[in-house]
Structure 1
Amino acid sequence: MANEKKTVAVLYGGKSTEYEISLLTAFSVINAIDLDKYRVLPVYIQQDGRWIAGDEIKGKLAHKDQLLLQENAVAESAVTHWLAPSAPANARTRPDIVFPLLHGPNGEDGTVQGLFELLNIAYVGSGVAGSSVGMDKVLMKDVFAAYDIPGPNYVSVSRFEWENDAPKIILKVKNSIGYPCFIKPANGGSSVGISKCLSEPELSAAITEAFLFDTKVIIEEGISGREVEIGVIGNHELSVSVPGEIITKNAAFYDYQSKYQEGNSTLVIPADLTDKVKAELEETAKRAFVALNLSGLARVDVFIREKDQKIIVNEVNTMPGFTQFSMFPLLWQHTGLPYQQLIEKLVDLGLEKHREKQQIHYRIDN
């Protein structure tokens, strides 16, 4: 029936350094979603990788700890039914769509997206390719370079290269990047493992730390300018939010504490930009979204370079956080799309994308 509630499985937790952020995001989304329109099923991925499904959410949650489902508290884990490739499409426990509120590796990188493709279940956000390239900062910047989308100068290094010839890497950074520079795990988010280096002595320790979180590291030039973010939603017809500016307090850059601890940063929404810069930002954000083959949503992070006001794309986040301190929902709220309606819009876009894929033929005789 047309008016029947859609079932949304909210997926959260996971094996990632951003596990806690995922819990906060899920807590916020579940408490905001309209339970008169949707059946909401929590699906918790423990840090050991175990999946546990909970009963339908019937009301507001008091604390995020209520999301920490225990296996012995659930009768027969409903998740096992619809996660089986042989499960019928009309299985009673099968959701209409999954909202994967997972940040970082093992969630935002195309892994669970591939699972839902195999199961032929709709999901919110970008597909396998877009999620994977959007997660890998090196591949992302390689694509941007191919599409002539301006970004900072960068070099990448594997753990093998670093362990076998660290002096060569340090010299390469000196000659092609210089200082200050930023060292980041290639696959990661929430500024985990990121360091700002002002000199060569700091570089070695920063690279070693970044390798704690990935097998590949990217080193980028420091850009002197304003940090601005803008939201993009859509599949084909794209909409952009008002831009927002980040002003950090007592920090060298927008680090983990600045993002998730109240009072460590100021978000200026909308950012005070000239019409020319704003138009360039909106166009660049859409170009980046299309170049990475994204869908549903993304937050595009840029620098507005101080010396010439040029837009320099830092990165694109394919599943930005929805915590109370997160920029993405605040940008859309100031654009005129409140939090609850934003969630509904993203669910609709995920269902739309899934319907389109059902038109693809996988045999030449049908």
Structure 2
Amino acid sequence: MKKKVAILFGGQSTEHEVSRVSAASVLKNIDTSKYDLFPIGITKQGEWFEYTGSVDKIENGEWEKDEFYKSPNGQSVLFNREVDVVFPVMHGLYGEDGTIQGLCKLVGIPCVGPGVLSSSVCMDKVYTKYVLEHFNIKQADYVIVNAHEYKNSKEDIIKEIENKLGYAVFIKPSNSGSSVGITKAHDRKELEAGLEEAMKYDRKILVEEALNAREIEVAVLGNDEPKAAVPGEIVPAKEFYDYEAKYENEASKLLIPANLNEADLEKIKSIAIEVYKALDCAGMSRVDFLVDKDTTEMYLNEVNTIPGFTSISMYPKLWGASGKEYSKLIDDLIELAINRNNA
């Protein structure tokens, strides 16, 4: 008997468009001989709809205008437990941060990917740092900026950043993804502008030292005995891998495997699995590192619990390079979700 799978896409985050493209890729690659599919789109206004129209219209955003195929019963599909498993192909807030995972837990439906706590901690860059410090995972030096405190003590906070980190620094909203709201500052003027930009997306800001580093990504798959795929390397088209460099600039390159010697490839895979377990991840996550260009020291950058699934995304590409084709990867993720729910 076919398993019934709800594919959630869209949502209210700044990564709504990326989510649609990822979901379209999943829908094009999933084995329909094994699964009955329930695509459920969530608009930027938070409306849920079951959608049975063209996958291409999901990808380009036209699905919301396709009234003939759209019915406002997306939530009821979940609450009536008509599905066996939920696959939330939703990046960023209101999808990757534990909210959807909590909903699935309430109604007792297996959900692909990490659970509530892991999802929420990994989504919050600051709390990811706090947790991993306990496990002695090497990370870049940082300063946390609270938006309210910044407005009242701007000069003191600027001086703290300059004294502790110097320049250049990266400025990141604590809860955001796909490099949305992230800037790099080389001086005080750029720092102030970057903080103001980041505060558009979050009240808690992470300011990190800018390492002279390469960006290495590791795809991890599994529950209690996770495995890591061959690591890949990002060669951004710009000074750093921002949203435009990730999704719009074809000059950005993905090197698979990463340009590391065999010992370092194995080492970074081992650290990725250690991070995955420390954060209680399950199903999947992409663990991103910064590797110092001079010393080859490895620094944890961030963990993505619902990594991109577009045709150019690292997570499926890394597993493809490791011998696991896209459709088999989807099979494994669905099975892992069901097993985790039954454990």
- Shifted more, 313-322 versus 300-309: the winner is 300-309
Equivalent residue for 1:289?
276
Of residues 294, 309, 316, the one that matches 2:296 is: 309
> What's the secondary structure of 2:219's corresponding residue?
strand
- Find out whether 1:195 has 2:183 as its counterpart: yes
Equivalent residue for 1:114?
102
- Alpha-carbon distance, 1:264 to partner: 2.8
**Percent sequence identity over aligned pairs:** 40
Equivalent residue for 1:33?
30
- What amino acid maps onto 2:102 in structure 1? G
Of residues 89, 96, 109, the one that matches 1:101 is: 89
- Alpha-carbon distance, 1:279 to partner: 2.0
In 2, the alpha carbon distance for the partners of 1:66 and 1:314 equals 31
- Shifted more, 268-277 versus 9-18: the winner is 268-277
TM-score calculated relative to the size of structure 2: 0.96
- Find out whether 1:245 has 2:240 as its counterpart: no
In 2, the alpha carbon distance for the partners of 1:339 and 1:48 equals 31
- Alpha-carbon distance, 1:67 to partner: 6.7
1:171-227 per-residue CA deviation (whole Å, 9 max, x = no partner) reads: 110111111100000001111100001111110010000000111110001111211
**Runs of 4+ displaced beyond 4 Å:** 59-63, 69-72
- Find out whether 1:68 has 2:60 as its counterpart: no
- Shifted more, 229-238 versus 66-75: the winner is 66-75
TM-score calculated relative to the size of structure 1: 0.90
- Alpha-carbon distance, 1:277 to partner: 1.2
- Shifted more, 272-281 versus 343-352: the winner is 272-281
- Find out whether 1:299 has 2:292 as its counterpart: no
In 2, the alpha carbon distance for the partners of 1:206 and 1:273 equals 32
- Find out whether 1:161 has 2:156 as its counterpart: no
- Alpha-carbon distance, 1:308 to partner: 1.7
Two-structure CA RMSD over aligned residues (Å): 1.7
- What amino acid maps onto 1:37 in structure 2? K
> What's the secondary structure of 1:123's corresponding residue?
coil
For the 8 Å contact 1:243–1:271, the answer to whether it is kept is: yes
For the 8 Å contact 1:289–1:298, the answer to whether it is kept is: yes
Equivalent residue for 1:176?
164
- Alpha-carbon distance, 1:325 to partner: 1.7
For the 8 Å contact 1:44–1:67, the answer to whether it is kept is: no
In 2, the alpha carbon distance for the partners of 1:224 and 1:256 equals 20
> What's the secondary structure of 1:163's corresponding residue?
helix
- What amino acid maps onto 2:284 in structure 1? L
- What amino acid maps onto 2:103 in structure 1? L
> What's the secondary structure of 1:182's corresponding residue?
strand
Provide structure 2 residue ranges, at least 5 long, that are not aligned to the other structure.
none
- Alpha-carbon distance, 1:54 to partner: 2.4
Give 1:137-152 correspondences, 5 Å limit: 137-152=125-140
- Shifted more, 105-114 versus 260-269: the winner is 260-269
- Alpha-carbon distance, 1:71 to partner: 8.8
In 2, the alpha carbon distance for the partners of 1:208 and 1:60 equals 38
Equivalent residue for 2:7?
10
In 1, the alpha carbon distance for the partners of 2:169 and 2:61 equals 41
In 2, the alpha carbon distance for the partners of 1:148 and 1:307 equals 22
For the 8 Å contact 1:15–1:48, the answer to whether it is kept is: yes
- Alpha-carbon distance, 1:282 to partner: 1.1
In 2, the alpha carbon distance for the partners of 1:262 and 1:68 equals 25
Provide structure 1 residue ranges, at least 5 long, that are not aligned to the other structure.
357-366
Give 1:266-281 correspondences, 5 Å limit: 266-281=253-268
In 1, the alpha carbon distance for the partners of 2:84 and 2:32 equals 15
How has the CA–CA distance of structure 1 residues 262 and 204 changed in structure 2, closer, same or farther, with 3 Å as cutoff?
closer
1:84-120 per-residue CA deviation (whole Å, 9 max, x = no partner) reads: 4xx4xxx5xx110010011101110001110110000
For the 8 Å contact 1:116–1:122, the answer to whether it is kept is: yes
- Alpha-carbon distance, 1:159 to partner: 1.1
Equivalent residue for 1:361?
none
For the 8 Å contact 1:280–1:311, the answer to whether it is kept is: no
In 2, the alpha carbon distance for the partners of 1:46 and 1:337 equals 32
> What's the secondary structure of 1:254's corresponding residue?
coil
- Find out whether 1:135 has 2:123 as its counterpart: yes
Of residues 314, 319, 324, the one that matches 1:327 is: 314
- What amino acid maps onto 2:117 in structure 1? A
State the structure with more CA Rg: 1
How has the CA–CA distance of structure 1 residues 162 and 75 changed in structure 2, closer, same or farther, with 3 Å as cutoff?
closer
How has the CA–CA distance of structure 1 residues 15 and 337 changed in structure 2, closer, same or farther, with 3 Å as cutoff?
same
Equivalent residue for 2:241?
254
- Alpha-carbon distance, 1:155 to partner: 1.1
- Alpha-carbon distance, 1:148 to partner: 0.2
In 2, the alpha carbon distance for the partners of 1:111 and 1:78 equals 19
- What amino acid maps onto 1:216 in structure 2? K
For the 8 Å contact 1:53–1:78, the answer to whether it is kept is: yes
In 1, the alpha carbon distance for the partners of 2:61 and 2:262 equals 46
- What amino acid maps onto 1:35 in structure 2? T
- Alpha-carbon distance, 1:164 to partner: 1.0
For the 8 Å contact 1:11–1:102, the answer to whether it is kept is: yes
For the 8 Å contact 1:257–1:264, the answer to whether it is kept is: no
In 2, the alpha carbon distance for the partners of 1:117 and 1:273 equals 40
How has the CA–CA distance of structure 1 residues 76 and 199 changed in structure 2, closer, same or farther, with 3 Å as cutoff?
closer
